[in-house]
Structure 1
Amino acid sequence: MRIISGSLKGRRFSPPKNFKARPTTDFAKENLFNVLNNHYSFEELKVLDLFGGTGSISLEFASRGTNNITCVELNFNHFRFIKKNIDELGMKSSIKVIKADAFKFIEKTSETFDMIFADPPYDLENAETIPDLVLSNNLLNSEGILIFEHSGKVDFKSHPNFVENRENGKVIFTFFKA
């Protein structure tokens, strides 16, 4: 895995072989950030990265100048890997990592965000409820956007807050507005 752009452009990091997370591919991540780059000033965003996995998305935002990122990851080994990379890359002041269940975090936090990225394991039970949980708990600011990464098994086109899908091979990013 590599960081696509920004101050950390080209930096590579590899999770251990026993790592259980399915990271967003570099190809899909690059396409996603190309879209975001045309619509957002990264320096001004407050970002929530749910199901942090490798921390790749949080690091990509930080590399592009986002200084207010919260990354939520439940698995201790993944959490430790994310913290290690944040420390090594000097991003402690930009990324706060929380070891927590994303579903419980959504229900308990009182914070709101400009952008939320959620990439649950594709086979996670009730993963398809994440958009509704985020929206019903008012986690997005008024102009906020939720990006939900998922497989083609779920279709959100009829959801009232649906904005668009971006397909990158088997990876689909569905955008929702508050």
Structure 2
Amino acid sequence: MRIISGIYKSRKIVAPKNLPVRPTTDMAKESLFNILNNQFYFDEISVLDLFAGTGNISYEFASRGTQNITCVDQDHGCIKFINQTAEAFEMPINTIKSNVFKFLEKSSLQTNIIFADPPYSFSEEQFAKIPELIFQNNMLLEDGILIIEHSKHTNLSDLNHYSHSKSYGGNMFSFFEVT
């Protein structure tokens, strides 16, 4: 994976092969950040990265100037890799090793952007639980957005707070907003 833009532009990050991850493709990531670039000043926002995996999305935010980034993943290897990478690049990324659903049930954190990249194999009920907990606990700041990455075979348009989706190859990003 590579960082698309910002101070670490073109830097390649190689994750260990044994991590249980499916990193967002560079094409999909670039398209997503083109959308976000028109809505946010990256140096003025906070980000929560759920099911963070390799930290791919968080590195992109950090490279673009975001100073308040929190990554949540339950895999020890993923958290260790994110911590090592963040330290090597001096990125302001905090990590929390936790089951994402347990974290969401208890968290009082509020951010501008919440990005969730759960396993594509999640059931519709598991996908639905993500925005349900986030909006129930008021985790988005005013004008904030939740973005869930999923397969094009998953439809989240019937969920509360759904705004729209964008498709990039086999990947989809569904956007949710405070209404």
Q: Tell me the residue number matched to 2:81.
A: 81
Q: Distance in 2 between matches of 1:78 and 1:135?
A: 26
Q: Distance in 2 between matches of 1:111 and 1:163?
A: 22
Letter in 2 for 1:40: F
The answer to whether structure 1 residue 10 and structure 2 residue 6 are counterparts is: no
CA-to-aligned-CA distance 1:28-67 (integer Å, 9 cap, x gap):
0000001111111001111100011000111100100000
Letter in 2 for 1:112: Q
Contact 1:128–1:154 (CA under 8 A) maintained in structure 2: no
Tell me the secondary structure at the aligned position of residue 33 of structure 1.
helix
The answer to whether structure 1 residue 120 and structure 2 residue 118 are counterparts is: yes
- How many residue pairs get matched? 176
The answer to whether structure 1 residue 62 and structure 2 residue 62 are counterparts is: yes
Letter in 2 for 1:105: F
CA-to-aligned-CA distance 1:137-165 (integer Å, 9 cap, x gap):
21111211000001123212233411111
Q: Tell me the residue number matched to 1:168.
A: 168
Contact 2:152–2:167 (CA under 8 A) maintained in structure 1: no
Q: Distance in 2 between matches of 1:158 and 1:20?
A: 29
TM-score by length of 1: 0.94
Letter in 1 for 2:112: D
Give the C-alpha shift of residue 70 in structure 1.
0.6
Letter in 1 for 2:143: E
Task: List structure 1 segments (4+ residues) > 3 angstroms apart after TM superposition.
Answer: none
Letter in 2 for 1:159: L
CA-to-aligned-CA distance 1:5-48 (integer Å, 9 cap, x gap):
00110110111122210000111000000111111100111110
TM-score by length of 2: 0.94
Deviates more, 1:136-145 or 1:152-161: 152-161
The answer to whether structure 1 residue 129 and structure 2 residue 121 are counterparts is: no
Tell me the secondary structure at the aligned position of residue 152 of structure 2.
coil
Q: Distance in 2 between matches of 1:123 and 1:117?
A: 17
Deviates more, 1:107-116 or 1:159-168: 159-168
Q: Distance in 1 between matches of 2:144 and 2:38?
A: 15
- Between the aligned residues of both structures, percent identity stands at 48
Tell me the secondary structure at the aligned position of residue 69 of structure 1.
strand
Tell me the secondary structure at the aligned position of residue 133 of structure 1.
helix
Q: Tell me the residue number matched to 1:106.
A: 104
Give the C-alpha shift of residue 107 in structure 1.
0.9
List gaps (5 residues or longer) in structure 1: none
